[in-house]
A and B are shown apart, each in its own frame.
Chain A
Amino acid sequence: MPGKLKAKIVAGRHLPVMDRASDLTDAFVEVKFGNTTFKTDVFPKSLNPQWNSEWFKFEVDDEDLQDEPLQITVLDHDTYSANDAIGKVYIDIDPLLSCEAATVISGWLPIYDTIHGIRGEINVLVKVDLFNDLNRFRQSSCGVKFFCTTSIPRCYRVALVHGFVEELVVNEDPEYQWIDRIRTPRASNEARQRLISLMSGELQRKIGLKVLEMGGNAVVGYLQCFDLEGESGLVVRAIGTACTLDKLSPGTAPNTTTHTNTHTLPNTAPTSNACNSPSKDSKEPVFSEDPPHSLSGPPTPLRTLPSSSPPPFSPSKPCSRQSSSSDTDLSLTPRIGKTSPASSPSPPLSAPFLIPTQKLTVLFILLSQFIEFPIFTLTCFPPGFLVHVGGVVSTRSVKLLDRIHNPVLGNTRSYKLLDWNSVAADEPETRDAWWEEIRQEIKSHAKALGCHAVVGYSESTSICEEVCILSASGTAAMLNPRFMREGCLDTGGSDHRFEDASPPSCGFVHIPYDEFNMPFPAQLTYCYHCRRQKVPDVLFTTIDLPAEAEVTGKGCLIQARLCRTKKKAQGEVNATSISNLLPFMEYELHTQLMNKLKLRSMNALFGLRIQISVGENMLLGLASATGVYLSALPAPGGIQIAGKTPSDLSYDQHISTMQKRIDDTIAKNKELYNIHPPECIEEVVGSPIPDRQRSSRLFRSTSESSDELSELDLSHGKKDAFVLEIDDTDAVEDIQSLLTDAPIPAGFYSCNTEVMPGIHNWTSGLQMFTSVRVYRLSNANLTNQGLNKIFTDLCENLLKSLYFKLRSMIPCCLCHLNFTVAVPEEELIQVRGHTYLSTPLLLWSGENEEQLQFSMELCGESTISNNQPTAKPSAPSVDYGSFADRCSTWLELLRLKAHTIRRGSVKTSRRTQLLAHSGIANQQPVSLPCGAPVTVVKMTPLSFLPGTRIVKYLGIINMFFIRETTSLREEGGVSGFLHSFIAEVFAMVRAHVAALGGNALVSYSMKECVFMENPNKNQAQCLINVSGDAVIFIRESDQEAIPPLLTSRQTSSTGADGTT
Chain B
Amino acid sequence: MSVELDVFVGNTTIMDEEVYQFWLDGYTVNDAVKVRMEGGVLEECEASAEVLRSDTMDQYRTFQMCERLLHSPAKLANQLLFQIPPHRQAMLIERYYTFDGVFVREVLGKKLSKGTKKDLDDVSAKTGVTLKSCRRQFDNFKRVFKVVEELKGPLVENIRQHFLLSDKLARDYAAIVFFANNRFETGKKKLHYLTFQDFAFCAGQLIIVHCNHSRVLMRPALIGKEFLQDLKELKILITDKDLLDQHKSLVCTALRGKTKAFNEMEANFKNLSRGLVNIAAKLTNTKDVRDFFIDLVEKFIEPCRSDKWTAGDMRLYLTHYTNSAHILDTFKHQVVWDRYMGVIKSCILKMYHD
Using CB atoms and an 8 Å cutoff, list the residues of chain A in contact with chain B: 13-14, 108, 110, 118, 121, 742, 745, 767-779, 790, 797, 800-801, 803-805, 807, 841, 900, 903, 907-908, 911, 914-915, 918-919, 921-922, 926, 928-930, 932, 934, 936-939, 972, 974-976, 978-980, 982-984, 986-988, 990-991, 1011, 1052, 1055-1060
Contact = CB atoms under 8 A, between A and B. Distances in A.
7 contacts: A777-B1, A803-B45, A807-B44, A911-B164, A930-B78, A990-B80, A1059-B85
Interface in B11-69: 11-17, 44-48, 50-52, 54-55, 57-58, 61-62, 64-65
B16 A921 contact: no
A805 B6 contact: no
Given A767-B11, A928-B77, A775 B2 contact: yes
A767 B12 contact: yes
A800 B5 contact: no
A1059 B12 contact: yes
A770 B58 CA distance: 12
Given A1052-B87, A1057-B85, A1059-B85, A938 B11 contact: yes
Contacts of A915: 86-87, 90
A903 B167 contact: yes
B164 A918 contact: no
Given A926-B86, A936-B83, A775 B51 contact: no
Nearest to A745: B45
B75 interface: yes
B74 A930 contact: yes
Chain A contact surface mostly = mixed
Contact of B11 (A797, A841, A932, A986): A986
Contact of B83 (A930, A984, A990, A1055): A990
B51 A804 contact: yes
Contacts of A1011: 5
A914 B58 CA distance: 28
Contact of A980 (B2, B3, B65): B65
Closest 9 CB pairs of A and B: A918-B87, A928-B77, A769-B10, A774-B5, A932-B78, A774-B4, A982-B9, A804-B47, A939-B11
Contact of A767 (B14, B16, B64): B14
A11 to B, nearest CB: 12
A800 B86 contact: no
A932 B17 CA distance: 27
A778 B80 CA distance: 39
B14 A769 contact: yes
Given A800-B47, A919-B87, A1057 B4 contact: no
Contacts of A767: 10-12, 14
Nearest to B62: A979
B87 A768 contact: no
B160 interface: yes
B156 to A, nearest CB: 10
Contacts of A1055: 15-17
A315 B150 CA distance: 86
A804 B50 contact: no
A988 B81 CA distance: 8
B83 A1059 contact: yes
Nearest to A108: B80
A517 B81 CA distance: 59
B81 A984 contact: yes
Contacts, number: 183
Nearest to A809: B14
B88 interface: yes
B306 interface: no
Given A908-B160, A983-B82, A1052-B85, A797 B50 contact: yes
Interface in B152-198: 157, 160-161, 164, 166-167
Contact of A972 (B6, B61, B80): B61
Contacts of B4: 774-776, 841, 974
A984 B81 CA distance: 6
Given A801-B51, A915-B86, A1055-B16, A987 B80 contact: yes
A922 B83 CA distance: 11
B249 to A, nearest CB: 46
A121 B61 contact: no
B209 to A, nearest CB: 13
A976 B44 CA distance: 29
B84 to A, nearest CB: 8
Contacts of B10: 767-770, 1060
B8 interface: yes
Nearest to A974: B5
A914 B78 CA distance: 14
Nearest to A743: B46
A648 B46 CA distance: 38
B125 interface: no
Nearest to B76: A928
Question: Of B10, B47, B157, which is in contact with the most chain A CB atoms at under 10 Å from its CB?
Answer: B10
A773 B6 contact: yes
A929 B51 contact: no
Nearest to A800: B51
B335 interface: no
B7 interface: yes
A974 B2 CA distance: 14
Contact of B8 (A797, A805, A928): A805
Given A790-B1, A801-B51, A771 B7 contact: yes
A934 B74 contact: no
Interface centre among B45, B47, B79 (most CB of A within 10 A): B45
Contacts of A926: 86
Contacts of B64: 972, 976
Given A1055-B17, A1060-B12, A991 B46 contact: no
A976 B64 CA distance: 10
Contacts of B167: 903
A790 B2 CA distance: 11
Contacts of B46: 742, 745, 800
A82 B221 CA distance: 54
Nearest to A109: B80
A847 to B, nearest CB: 10
Contacts of B45: 745, 803-804, 807
Given A928-B78, A929-B74, A1060-B12, A773 B157 contact: no
Most buried by B among A768, A804, A807, A1055: A804
A991 B79 CA distance: 11
A776 B1 contact: yes
Given A769-B10, A974-B5, A1052 B88 contact: yes
A987 B81 contact: yes
Nearest to B69: A14
A852 to B, nearest CB: 12
Given A918-B87, A934-B77, A983-B13, 17 more contacts: A110-B80, A773-B5, A797-B51, A807-B45, A900-B166, A908-B161, A914-B86, A928-B78, A929-B164, A934-B79, A978-B5, A982-B9, A983-B81, A983-B82, A990-B83, A1057-B14, A1060-B12
Contacts of B85: 918, 922, 936, 1052, 1057-1059
B86 A921 contact: yes
A823 B215 CA distance: 62
Most buried by A among B55, B58, B83: B83
A968 to B, nearest CB: 11
A770 B9 CA distance: 5
B50 A934 contact: no
Contacts of B5: 772-774, 974-975, 978, 1011
A794 to B, nearest CB: 8
Contact of B9 (A769, A921, A1057): A769
Contact of A778 (B1, B52, B77): B1
B149 to A, nearest CB: 17
Contacts of A938: 11
Contacts of B50: 797
Contact of A928 (B1, B2, B86, B166): B86
A979 B65 contact: yes
Contacts of B1: 775-779, 790
